[in-house]
Amino acid sequence: MARLCGGGCSGPAFACNPTALRTQRRFRGCSSSGERPSFSQPRFVRAQRRRTARLALLRACGNEDPGNHSGQSRTTEKLQGLVDAFKKLGDQKLRVQQLLHMASTLPPFPRERRVLANRVRGCLSVVHVDAFLDKEGKVEFIGDSDSQLTKGLVAFLIRGLSGYSVEEVCAVTPDFIKESGLGVSLTPGRTNGFLNMLRTMQEKARMLGMGEANSMQSTANGKVSMKEVIENKLQVLKPDLIEIRDDSAKHRGHEGAHERRGETHFTIKIVSDTFKDMPEVKRHKLVYALLSEELNSRRIHALSIITLTPIEAHSGPGVA
């Protein structure tokens, strides 16, 4: 920062007044030789950022005061095993090396699932996660990142949260981050990103639980129609309007028409603000990704998709 010195100039103090510099070098981080000061953050600034990140973690855990232990900690058995293993490492470098190793074990993330709906917001790196229910109704997660270290954090959460019920996943509290030692090993930005990953995965699990509940409610008086399945899956887009038309009768002679009692071909119109600034190809890929389970299992044979923003909907085509 420039200020007036004894010689009447307006340059940095050390350029004209080495004596003043020597008395303040401890605070300015400069050398008495007149070299330019370092632009790295002062130690107290870095310390303040770390304190802010720790407070954010404590608030997320329900304990704003480090001395307040009234909040009940919850985790899964697998997650606690990982926490104990990382805690025993003791060394920050070893923890980072283990995360990098875990990143290398993640299976490839499906390209069709790299969509906005699966993007984790608030991360320094690009992170995608998705979830689905296995045959026993347990939540399974998949994920990826363009950063190997962040990818290791994704792998940590996938190992610790997959294979449990929706209720068990959503009950996990984030204080395991501090307990494992990762809160110390990571920068404040990555710690906040780690919290956002956990919240996103829990939200996806919660949505799966809501979809399952809706499905059970629909089956109380009979089978679930494919229209209901499609509508439930597309709720993640927060649509203003969804119109679904069953065109299966027009395709009786086509492949797959007989496999699911005729409910195989649909025309869908979706009006959602999610599509804003998104080209049509990406909009369609997003819808296909959300319905990938039904398409891959051939429960849906073909889709005709109309995707509009609320502004476009005034002049856009309808389904009927």
Q: So what's the pLDDT on residue 299? A: 77
CB 286 within 8 A of CB 116: yes
pLDDT tens by residue, 210-246: 765 554 544 444 456 788 888 888 888 888 899 999 8
Average pLDDT, the chain: 75
Tokens of 215: 């499905």
Q: Is the pLDDT of residue 175 over 70?
A: yes
Burial (CB count <10 Å: 0-12, 13-18, 19+), residue 60: middle
Q: What is the DSSP letter of 246?
A: E
Whole-angstrom CA distances from 267 to 46, 191, 272, 314, 320 are: 55, 43, 16, 19, 9
CB 174 within 8 A of CB 198: yes
What the chain holds in terms of domains, given with CATH numbers, is 72-211 (3.90.1010.10), 225-313 (3.30.300.90)
Share of the chain above pLDDT 70, in %: 68
Share of the chain above pLDDT 90, in %: 35
pLDDT tens by residue, 22-47: 444 444 444 444 444 444 455 555 55
Q: So what's the pLDDT on residue 51? A: 55
Catalytic residues: 123
Q: Is the pLDDT of residue 63 over 70?
A: no
- Give the whole-angstrom CA distance, residue 165 versus residue 118: 20
